[in-house]
Amino acid sequence: MHIDLDNWYKPDLDRKELRKLSKRKNLPGLIHFGIYFISLFASGYLAYITWGTWLSFFFFFIYGTIYSFSVSNWHETVHKTAFKTRWINEIFYHISSFMADFEGFRWRWSHTFHHSYTLQTKDDYDHEIQISRPTDLIAFFLNFIPFSDLLFLHRLIKYEVIKHAFGYFSPVVKISAPAKQKKKILWNSRLYLFIWISIIILSVYFETFLLILYFILPTYYGKPLWFLVNVTQHLGAAIDTKDHRESTYSIKINPIFSFLYWKMEYHLEHHLFPMVPSYNLKKLQKIVKDQIPEPFPSLFSFYKEILPVIIKQATDPGHNYNTKIPSSKL
């Protein structure tokens, strides 16, 4: 996975300091995944023992929210920064990929493109742009409603996996993945499909909907809070620029979201130096803070600023949020 940032703006940072910040460890990742899965299992157990009561809806929402943040687990491991030991990282990468519906081989290559061509819309297209332009406001706000993704079956990531399982590759695969990787994408997609079908068969056999709620639907009913946090990365930002300070944001969030999000609230810093593990991004931010924009102080302040921008982008797709870049570091 090689990210090409040669033509992008880079803050001044001592190479020795960067190597120090880029040093990876196993313990932080093991602790993180340990707490994550304990929280997931605990909420799932509470949902089970309250099944049949209104309280179960609450616990399943908590379970689904935690499960949906498996995308963040995937993200840290796709960068190989969750663990120092490669094989440990790979195990958790493929577990997280399955949970997030992000078939591991396809998304490893498309994410390389995302970092090399962030919000580029011309020759080298960023296929991970979450909100396209002009903004489809109905589709955007539906993201905050559980199960709303099921209204657009053809847009589901699971639908793409199913197509790949039958050999119909999406444009992003044709563009970003090397030819030798396509066979891996094909068979890994078939594995995902086999597991999903097996879960459905077991659910029918045991006459229970719980297996589907636990393993197939969590990212649909647990999506709203994950989307609330995750979409802040590039929403309304400038496109076709080679300066991440104009296309990517950082934002302050509460400790619970920060944990589930693997500290990706420092998203600008992450794009500037994607080899730095999440647990060092705060240190990185302090070092380069005079060269980058101030982070948004809260989710509320972010949406207060950005919502009018994306509403205007519905009729004026060329409109962008005007990020204030330190004048001395232009």
Per-residue pLDDT tens over the stretch 135-147: 999 999 999 999 9
Residue 18 lies inside a defined structural domain of this protein: no
Asked whether the CA dihedral 314, 317, 319, 320 is positive or negative, the reply is positive
Residue 44 lies inside a defined structural domain of this protein: yes
Q: Which positions ≥6 away from 192 have C-beta within 8 Å?
A: 98, 101, 103, 161, 165
Per-residue pLDDT tens over the stretch 303-312: 999 999 999 9
Closest CA to 298 of 259, 242, 249, 244: 249
Please state, for a pLDDT cut of 70, what percent of the chain lies above it.
Answer: 98
Residue 319 lies inside a defined structural domain of this protein: yes
Closest CA to 272 of 4, 11, 3, 2: 11
User: Residue 292 sits in which domain range?
Assistant: 23-329
- pLDDT, residue 128, reads 86
Q: Cα separation of 122 and 117, whole Å? A: 10
pTM, two decimal places: 0.95
Residue 104 lies inside a defined structural domain of this protein: yes
Closest CA to 275 of 127, 116, 79: 79
| Structural tokens at position 211 | 């297996």
Q: Check: CB of residue 50 under 8 Å from CB of residue 59.
A: yes
pLDDT band for 121, please (50, 70, 90 cuts).
confident
For residue 328, pLDDT beyond 70: no
Q: Check: CB of residue 36 under 8 Å from CB of residue 92.
A: no
How many structural domains does the chain have?
Answer: 1
Per-residue pLDDT tens over the stretch 5-21: 788 999 999 999 999 99
- pLDDT, residue 7, reads 86
Closest CA to 106 of 4, 188, 190, 168: 188
Q: Cα separation of 61 and 200, whole Å? A: 21
For residue 127, pLDDT beyond 90: no
- pLDDT, residue 205, reads 97
Per-residue pLDDT tens over the stretch 88-114: 999 999 999 999 999 999 999 999 989
Residue 4 lies inside a defined structural domain of this protein: no
Task: From residue 291, give the alpha-carbon distance in Å to each of 221, 238, 283, 298.
Answer: 40, 18, 14, 21
pLDDT band for 296, please (50, 70, 90 cuts).
very high
290 DSSP assignment = G
Q: Check: CB of residue 92 under 8 Å from CB of residue 73.
A: yes
Q: Cα separation of 250 and 244, whole Å? A: 11
For residue 329, pLDDT beyond 70: no
Residue 7 lies inside a defined structural domain of this protein: no
Please state, for a pLDDT cut of 90, what percent of the chain lies above it.
Answer: 88
Residue 112 lies inside a defined structural domain of this protein: yes
| Structural tokens at position 69 | 């943040």
Residue 5 lies inside a defined structural domain of this protein: no
The residue that leads in pLDDT, 231 or 175, is 231
